[in-house]
Amino acid sequence: MEIIVNMKKKLLSIIVVSAIAFVTSYNVYISQNDRKLSELALSNIEALASNNEGGGCPNGCVQGWGGCYCNGWYPTFAEHSGWH
């Protein structure tokens, strides 16, 4: 009977340690993915800022007529006249 009780305690200990290891590993994984997302967002912001410095499309293109040049020619768009 004592052997069964000891085996149950060991099994419970293994389950608890495994659960803690899983939760810790998952938190590390999530925190690394959040950092990658932040780096991606920063690179997108830098790319958007650098596109406007060249004067290619300071206001951006919107659906319209007449064409718009914004890092390429878009014949079915027009340059945005400004934000209201």
Q: What is the DSSP string of the chain?
A: -HHHHHHHHHHHHHHHHHHHHHHHHHHHHHHHHHHHHHHHHHHHHHHHHHHHHTTS-SS-EEE-SSBEESSSEETTEEE-----
Could you report the per-residue pLDDT of 1-25, keeping only the tens digit for each?
A: 888 889 999 999 999 999 999 999 9
* Mean pLDDT score of the chain: 76
The residue type found at 74 is Y
Would the pTM of this model clear 0.75, i.e. be above it? no
